[in-house]
């Protein structure tokens, strides 16, 4: 886990020398993506977020629920959550979200953003301890936590997703949103999302 930057560098080299013809666009929704909303919705929003990012927490705590009520639950928007960790706590949080059932992942994810200041800290050992407390409260055992934390394949999948987003859309900050393939950078209010979404729906 502490080799995150070395792993990222190795993966970047791999991507640079890979054949373009064999690469899938990040706009393609994969089986392992976490998605809410109607698959046939006219608008697809892909969010790239870091679980340690305060602006991402603000979006999840202040805007996402309204977006879900007004557009996702009404079949107008399909929303895809993608991981873009910038540091150790964010990577660990993303991995934990991949290790729980999808039916509870939305609630867990928003809980981690709500409690962000309690587990996103400088000391890695404290991050692990505090994050485990949260996951344990939802029923995750220590063995399950440790197995998730030690899953190198899962870690690599997350980092590969980061590099793919950087390469295709030059994503460098979080949150970033791909709205029907158009990049929207930075945290946006529900008012701003209404303007973006309603304009597309009216076209």
Q: Answer whether residue 24 is part of any domain.
A: no
d(CA 79, CA 93): 20
Contact between residue 171 and residue 19 where contact means Cβ atoms under 8 Å apart: no
Distance separating alpha carbons of residues 3 and 118, to the nearest angstrom: 24
Structural domain for 122, as ranges: 4-16+31-202
User: Is there a domain that residue 21 lies in?
Assistant: no
How many angstroms separate the Cα of 37 from the Cα of each of 30, 67, 88, 131?
15, 11, 30, 28
CA distance 77 to 44: 6
Residue 25 located in a structural domain = no
Q: How many domains does the chain have?
A: 1
pLDDT of the residue at 24: 85
Q: Buried b vs exposed e over 66-80: b needs ≥16 C-beta within 10 Å?
A: ebbeebbeeebbbbb
Joined together, the tokens standing for residue 96 give 């934990």
Tokens representing 161 are 């997703």
In a domain, 41, yes or no: yes
**Predicted confidence pLDDT, tens digits, the chain (203 residues):** 555 544 554 445 444 444 344 568 999 999 999 999 999 999 999 999 999 999 999 999 999 999 999 999 999 999 999 999 999 999 999 999 999 999 999 999 999 999 999 999 999 999 999 999 999 988 899 999 999 999 999 999 999 999 999 999 999 999 999 999 999 999 999 999 999 999 999 98
> Cβ–Cβ contacts within 10 Å for residue 133, how many?
12
Here the tokens at position 60 are: 């999840």
| 175 in Cβ contact with 59 (< 8 Å) | yes
Q: Output the domain CATH number for residue 37.
A: 3.40.30.10
pLDDT at 22: 52
* Cα distance between residue 76 and residue 40, in whole Å: 9
- Of 41, 75, 70, nearest to 189 by C-alpha is 70
138-to-45, 54, 102, 161, 167 alpha-carbon distances in Å: 28, 23, 14, 27, 36
């Amino acid at each position: 886990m502490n080799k995150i930057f070395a792993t990222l560098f190795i993966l970047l080299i791999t991507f640079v020398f890979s054949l373009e013809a064999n690469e899938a666009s990040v706009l393609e929704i994969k089986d392992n993506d976490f998605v809410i909303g109607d698959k046939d919705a006219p608008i697809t929003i892909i969010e790239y977020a870091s679980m340690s990012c305060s602006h991402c927490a603000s979006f999840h705590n202040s805007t996402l629920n309204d977006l879900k009520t007004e557009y996702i639950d009404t079949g107008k928007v399909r929303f895809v959550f993608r991981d873009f960790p910038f540091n150790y706590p964010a990577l660990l949080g993303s991995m934990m979200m991949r290790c729980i059932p999808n039916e509870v992942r939305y609630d867990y994810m928003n809980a981690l953003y709500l409690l962000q200041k309690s587990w996103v800290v400088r000391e890695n050992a404290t991050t692990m301890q505090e994050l485990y407390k949260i996951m344990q409260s939802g029923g995750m055992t220590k063995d399950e936590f440790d197995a998730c934390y030690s899953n190198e394949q899962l870690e690599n999948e997350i980092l590969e997703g980061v590099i793919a987003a950087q390469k295709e859309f030059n994503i460098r900050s979080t949150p970033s949103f791909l709205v029907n393939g158009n990049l929207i950078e930075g945290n946006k209010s529900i008012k701003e999302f209404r303007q973006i979404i309603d304009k597309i729906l009216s076209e």
